[in-house]
Structure 1
């Protein structure tokens, strides 16, 4: 059984922080481009398709980073946990599409699927002993994390870069005599 990162995740803090920042920047930049296209579509000489292109870019700018973060978040908790992120995002998109196109059964089905995705994240997070927040982390939110024993890999396939590295004998440092 391989060791998990001390915070319970399979990925390192640096990896998580790098991807979080990249996805947040992507969300704002791509959505900003979509808004700019939407504003440009209001001009008198603008082509008729520019408004539809703006909607597509905005949807991709929001859904793309949510999908990537949900899949990476699931994988950070458990190998194969990205399926739960895909489930959550599919429910999110289906609910939004159902509301937008006025299809009540799709909206409700999407909401139920998204809720099952969130519940599944909590279940695998509880098993893996990762910190989970109720509220916002730095705004007096409550942190829930199992502390009964150190996190163990119940699921298999941890990132080998997270294994504890022991110094080799004879490589610097003090020696016993």
Structure 2
């Protein structure tokens, strides 16, 4: 309780769209067979679903999931289903998560990122005839995505923070 809660400026819808686009472009990088690549789209979706549930919700998550399905060339609807459920559960816990500092928040959003990977793995294992379990290192991605949570919180809330020094020429 030593950390004060700052009043943030309203978020710009253009900034939300830009952050989702940048997250999508980060997921488009040719990571190859690198184990444990964080899911940047899931990270940004959870962030905005928690901080702005009226602007970024299940519909945006579905569209981003379909885009990721097309890019990853996986079963159409795999990422859409995972991201839709991710957004739903993020919205359902958004009031509780916002009471904690970003490091503690990361422990609360970890089950969401783990759930996304479990859903994607389940769809692949159920629908493919030659699918096999990829190993436990497959779940390293959700751990790294969770580790990026405090950094993403700091970056995505930066435009909304008020200036520390008061400037009397600014209206706010």
- TM-score normalised per structure 1: 0.30
**Which has the larger share of helix?**
2
- TM-score normalised per structure 2: 0.31
* Structure label with greater radius of gyration: 1
